[in-house]
């Protein structure tokens, strides 16, 4: 029996292969998710490991708390005098002390434009590049060319170098706090063993060059220490600690990470979950296809199973044979899928890179867990999907062997069947509604109940689908009849003749289309809400930001703008403080802010913004409620450098729910902000003026890290970022659509095979090859459109539920008609693509052989 199964599979290579493909992509996605994120986490780990290289100790300024890198505000390290390096060098246990300057400086190209292609932090570092021990201590290693030795030289990371097609000897600019300074490129550097530091860029200067650029002559940010042979790292640390002033501290290289990558790590974990979710969606779609394909092949092999039963096979053996078939298919698919996962992980990386999200990479990490999970899931899902057809095969009576032809057994739904269908759909809708509307659920429960609910809803709709497939095919087929003539008409009849098969095939596509529709509708509704909320808050006609829209930029921009005649400008600067024990963003705003921004005041008014003085603060309602603060109440915020701010609440405002500008919970006056933070940087300048855009842009041309937008252009750019996020989702969901295409291909191949003699007759009575191909193509399009229509109905329904729940956040239901029409067109194209192979096969059938086929 086992031999018969395996031989049977080998004899139907094409069918087995096509069926396996349905699972391959899902498994590839899961393997790819693990490989990609394992690799990135490893890279992030390497970054941490390498961040202070081989230093035994790192001396730095003492800060009150560690800043997060996901803060958009300026980096505010507390610098230490360069002379401290000499003092550390004189400690007996110290072999070498290398002073280092660390900061951020954006690079500008030959045209003076800021490199927008790297959106991560632009690291700038300077050390004594002429000293071999200092070079050894630094994690930045020369890769080509030479390290800079003069103050006007720079070595940059290979990624930027290649991307901008620089050559050694080119002159580029760098901008930190002042205006642009020019540097000559001497070579490229890499960071530790990491190929790329993701979207970050790096520039290595001589110690002097970095001090000039970052505006701290005579000061450094850290001192990297190598201990004498035989002295342990902890011994050298305690020896140094005794000599340091109170403003400095000594730490191990590990605890003094150059980068706080906790943000990246948690992003990678979310990414992994997201990719796994998309992998499971593809597998879920694949399960439909396995189910459908095995159902069809079981039906086509009725005679064979009857014969097996006749010669003595038990029901259990028949069951075992079909299940074994599923297991073998699942196993083959999983192994191929894991291999494909490697390729996919590269593709995912490319996808992120092209969307401007460059993540760190290192050597590919392939964990044993990846293999185990991929195989378990691949085989498990295939086997589960094969159970239904396997059970049906056991019901074939031995007498079937004697009957003429193989007939699809008529499946009649009993009361129980209907009860299951209705119950499944109802529980699905119930779970989704619960997730969306119930109060006080955490994000995970909301997502889980929505996810499980949607899956059940999909199953429910798939169970109802055979009942509605006939009328749907009939209606959609009208178009085929119109455009495809006689062949189109036959296609319509063919799509209607086995509604079970058409429905299950379409249901696989339905899932993908439902999800993209959901994303499109929700995305469009959110975007509309987002635009409205920006419009409600921003009352200026220009917005100035960094070229990428969110990076911090030079504070000088605001002053340059304010000096222009007929201009009302108000800047927002941002940094971090610790308040009530939590790290917190803090904004500093100009007194003129009330003229360009409209806050939604709970207490106070726009005039309050001009009266903050040296101790006033405006806080958000959320923050006020959390800490039980009222106007007149006080709070203390501590900056990273240790300064304490005693603030009095002057106003409470409630920002719109999405907080589209990303403003902080605490807002203080610009004067207090600049007094507290050493090197303030800007998030926004809002400008009201009748000056034309060109002239306004010219007035800040000495700050290449600032960009002037009209309000409309700014909104559009924000939309663009939103769109590229949606595009990533579409690309990931496209995978499940592709999987469902294989389902259509499968069904078509099987029905062409089944209808061989019929096709022979059609050819004999005058059907041309073209007409045969057209007929198959239209069948495919009809099936695809049934899937698309079902999917859109489910997708719109789900998104309507969610927008209803989001109405408290001012989100209205907004149908993106254009996008939905595009999805319909995509479905038609998908149908055409799926039909290519089967249609060619059908067209090529030899009429005579087809007629004699049994």
Partner 1 sequence: MADGLTNAAPAVSTRPVVSAMSITRRYGEGESAVDALRGVALEVMSGELTSVMGPSGSGKSTLMHILAGLDRPTQGTVEIAGNDITQMNDNELTLLRREHIGFIFQFFNLLPMLSAEENILLPLSLAGEKPDTEWVDELIGKVGLADRREHRPSELSGGQQQRVAIARSLVTRPTVLFADEPTGNLDSTTSDEILQLLRGSVDDYGQTIVMVTHDAGAAAVADRTMFLADGLLVKDLGRSSSSQVLAAMNDIQTAAAR
771/790 Cα distance (integer angstroms): 28
Tokens representing 300? 């086509």
CB under 8 Å to 425, separation ≥6 — which residues?
456, 457, 460, 461, 463, 464
* In the complex, least distance from residue 768 CB atom to partner 1, rounded to whole angstroms: 5
Number of residues that bind partner 1 (CB under 8 A): 25
Q: What is the CA radius of gyration of the chain?
A: 33
| Of residues 267 and 853, the one with the C-beta less far from partner 1 | 853
The interface with partner 1 within residues 769-798 (CB under 8 A) comprises 769, 771
Q: Is 485 in the site for partner 1 (CB under 8 A)?
A: yes
Interface characters, 440-459, with partner 1 (x: CB under 8 A): --------------------
Residue 244, classed as helix, strand or coil, is: coil
Kind plus residue range of the DSSP H or E element containing 741: helix 711-754
Q: Which stretch binds partner 1 (CB under 8 A): 3-11, 141-149, 667-675, 760-768?
A: 760-768
* In the complex, least distance from residue 325 CB atom to partner 1, rounded to whole angstroms: 29
Give φ, ψ of 152 to 5 degrees: -105, 25
Give φ, ψ of 203 to 5 degrees: -135, 130
Q: Is 851 in the site for partner 1 (CB under 8 A)?
A: yes
Q: Which stretch binds partner 1 (CB under 8 A): 169-177, 485-493, 593-601, 782-790?
A: 485-493
Q: How many CB atoms lie within 10 A of CB 271?
A: 19
Q: Count the alpha carbons within 13 Å of 787 in the hemisphere toward its beta carbon.
A: 36
Handedness of CA 91, 92, 98, 102 (dihedral sign): negative
17/21 Cα distance (integer angstroms): 6
**Is the Cβ–Cβ distance between 318 and 305 less than 8 Å?**
yes
| Of residues 493 and 674, the one with the C-beta less far from partner 1 | 493
Q: Is 765 in the site for partner 1 (CB under 8 A)?
A: yes
| Of residues 208 and 486, the one with the C-beta less far from partner 1 | 486
The interface with partner 1 within residues 67-126 (CB under 8 A) comprises none
Tokens representing 55? 């230093």
| Of residues 170 and 758, the one with the C-beta less far from partner 1 | 758
* In the complex, least distance from residue 485 CB atom to partner 1, rounded to whole angstroms: 6
* In the complex, least distance from residue 735 CB atom to partner 1, rounded to whole angstroms: 35
Q: How many CB atoms lie within 10 A of CB 604?
A: 18
**Is the Cβ–Cβ distance between 637 and 577 less than 8 Å?**
yes
**Is the Cβ–Cβ distance between 95 and 259 less than 8 Å?**
no
Q: Which stretch binds partner 1 (CB under 8 A): 364-372, 659-667, 669-677, 846-854?
A: 846-854
**Is the Cβ–Cβ distance between 681 and 573 less than 8 Å?**
yes
723/415 Cα distance (integer angstroms): 47
Q: Is 762 in the site for partner 1 (CB under 8 A)?
A: yes
Q: Is 763 in the site for partner 1 (CB under 8 A)?
A: yes
* In the complex, least distance from residue 340 CB atom to partner 1, rounded to whole angstroms: 38
Q: Is 277 in the site for partner 1 (CB under 8 A)?
A: no
The interface with partner 1 within residues 729-758 (CB under 8 A) comprises 757-758
Q: Is 475 in the site for partner 1 (CB under 8 A)?
A: no
Tokens representing 381? 């899902």
* In the complex, least distance from residue 840 CB atom to partner 1, rounded to whole angstroms: 14
Q: Which stretch binds partner 1 (CB under 8 A): 460-468, 489-497, 690-698, 829-837?
A: 489-497
Residue of 808, 806, 823, 814 whose CA lies nearest to 527: 814
Kind plus residue range of the DSSP H or E element containing 579: strand 567-579
Q: Binding partner 1 by CB under 8 A: which of 562, 591, 734, 761?
A: 761
Q: Is 407 in the site for partner 1 (CB under 8 A)?
A: no
567/572 Cα distance (integer angstroms): 16
Q: Which stretch binds partner 1 (CB under 8 A): 90-98, 468-476, 646-654, 763-771?
A: 763-771
**Is the Cβ–Cβ distance between 649 and 665 less than 8 Å?**
no
Q: Which stretch binds partner 1 (CB under 8 A): 195-203, 260-268, 425-433, 493-501?
A: 493-501
Q: Binding partner 1 by CB under 8 A: which of 493, 615, 754, 810?
A: 493
Q: Which stretch binds partner 1 (CB under 8 A): 91-99, 480-488, 596-604, 697-705?
A: 480-488
Interacting residue ranges for partner 1, rule: CB under 8 A = 485-487, 489-490, 493-494, 496-497, 757-758, 760-769, 771, 847-848, 851
């Amino acid at each position: 029996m086992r031999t018969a199964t395996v031989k049977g599979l080998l004899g139907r290579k094409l069918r087995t292969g096509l069926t396996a493909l349905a699972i391959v992509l899902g498994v590839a996605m899961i393997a790819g998710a693990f490989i990609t994120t394992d690799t990135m986490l490893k890279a992030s780990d390497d970054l941490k490991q390498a961040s202070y290289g081989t230093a035994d100790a790192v001396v730095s300024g003492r800060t009150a708390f560690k800043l997060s890198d996901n803060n958009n505000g300026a980096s505010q390290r507390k610098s230490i005098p360069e002379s401290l390096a000499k003092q550390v060098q004189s400690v007996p246990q110290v072999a070498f002390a290398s002073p280092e300057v660390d900061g951020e400086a954006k690079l500008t190209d030959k045209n003076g434009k800021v490199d927008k292609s790297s959106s991560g932090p632009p690291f700038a570092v300077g050390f004594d590049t002429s000293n071999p021990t200092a070079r050894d201590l630094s994690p930045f290693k020369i890769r080509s060319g030479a390290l800079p030795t003069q103050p006007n030289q720079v070595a940059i990371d290979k990624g930027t170098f290649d991307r901008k097609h620089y050559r050694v000897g080119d002159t580029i600019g760098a901008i930190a706090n002042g205006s642009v300074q020019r540097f000559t490129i001497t070579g490229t550097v890499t960071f530790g063993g990491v190929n790329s530091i993701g979207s970050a860029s790096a520039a290595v200067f001589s110690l002097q060059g970095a001090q000039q650029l970052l505006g701290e002559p005579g000061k450094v940010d850290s001192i990297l220490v190598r201990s004498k042979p035989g002295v342990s790292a902890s011994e050298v640390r305690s020896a140094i600690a005794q000599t340091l002033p109170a403003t400095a501290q000594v730490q191990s290289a590990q605890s003094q990470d150059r980068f706080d990558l906790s943000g990246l790590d948690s992003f990678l974990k979310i990414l992994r979950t997201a990719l796994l979710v998309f992998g499971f969606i593809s597998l879920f779609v694949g399960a439909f296809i396995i189910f459908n394909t095995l159902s069809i092949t079981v039906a086509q092999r009725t005679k064979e199973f009857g014969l097996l039963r006749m010669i003595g096979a038990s029901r259990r053996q028949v069951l075992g044979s079909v299940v074994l078939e599923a297991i073998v298919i699942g196993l083959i698919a999983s192994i191929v899928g894991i291999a494909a996962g490697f390729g996919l992980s590269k593709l995912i990386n490319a996808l992120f890179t092209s969307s401007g999200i460059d993540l760190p990479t290192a050597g590919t990490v392939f964990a044993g867990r990846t293999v185990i999970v991929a195989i378990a899931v691949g085989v498990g899902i295939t086997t589960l999907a094969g159970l239904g057809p396997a059970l049906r095969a056991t019901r074939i009576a031995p007498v079937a062997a004697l009957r003429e032809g193989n007939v699809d057994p008529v499946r009649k739904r009993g009361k129980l069947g209907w009860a299951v269908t209705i119950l499944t759909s109802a529980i699905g809708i119930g779970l989704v509604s619960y997730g969306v509307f119930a109060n006080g659920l955490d994000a995970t429960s909301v997502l889980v109940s929505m996810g499980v609910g949607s899956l059940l809803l999909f199953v429910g709709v798939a169970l109802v689908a055979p009942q509605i497939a006939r009328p749907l095919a009939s209606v959609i087929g009208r178009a085929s009849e119109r455009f495809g003539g006689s062949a189109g008409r036959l296609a319509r009849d063919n799509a209607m003749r086995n509604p079970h098969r058409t429905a299950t095939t379409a249901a696989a596509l339905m899932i993908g289309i439902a999800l993209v529709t959901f994303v499109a509708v929700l995305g469009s509704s959110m975007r509309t809400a987002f635009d409205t909320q920006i419009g409600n808050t921003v009352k200026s006609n220009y917005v100035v930001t960094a070229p990428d829209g969110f990076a911090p930029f030079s504070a000088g921009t605001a002053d340059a703008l304010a000096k222009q005649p007929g201009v009302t400008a108000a800047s927002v600067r941002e940094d971090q403080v610790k308040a009530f024990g939590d790290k917190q963003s803090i904004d500093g705003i100009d007194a003129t802010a009330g003229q360009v921004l409209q806050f939604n005041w709970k207490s106070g008014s726009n005039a309050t913004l001009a009266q903050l003085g040296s101790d006033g603060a405006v806080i958000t309602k959320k923050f006020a409620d959390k800490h039980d603060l009222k106007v007149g109440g006080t709070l203390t915020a501590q900056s990273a450098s240790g300064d304490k701010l005693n603030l009095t609440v002057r106003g409470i405002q409630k920002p719109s729910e999405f907080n589209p500008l990303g403003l902080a919970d605490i807002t203080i006056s610009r004067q207090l902000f600049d007094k507290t933070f050493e090197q303030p940087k800007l998030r926004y300048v809002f400008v009201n003026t009748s000056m034309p855009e060109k002239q306004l842009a010219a007035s800040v041309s000495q700050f290449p890290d600032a960009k002037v937008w009209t309000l409309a252009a700014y909104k559009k750019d924000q939309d663009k970022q939103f769109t590229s996020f949606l595009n990533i989702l579409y690309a990931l969901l496209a995978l499940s659509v592709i999987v469902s295409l294989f389902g259509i291909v499968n069904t078509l191949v099987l029905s062409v095979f089944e209808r061989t003699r019929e096709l022979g007759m059609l050819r004999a009575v005058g059907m041309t090859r073209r007409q045969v191909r057209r007929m198959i193509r239209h069948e495919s399009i009809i099936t695809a459109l049934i899937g698309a229509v079902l999917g859109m109905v489910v997708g719109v329904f789900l998104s309507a539920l969610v927008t209803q729940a989001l109405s408290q956040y001012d989100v209205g239901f907004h149908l993106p008609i254009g996008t939905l029409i595009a999805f319909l067109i995509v479905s038609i194209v998908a149908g055409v693509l799926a039909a290519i192979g089967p249609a060619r096969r059908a067209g090529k059938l030899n009429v005579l052989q087809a007629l004699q086929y049994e």
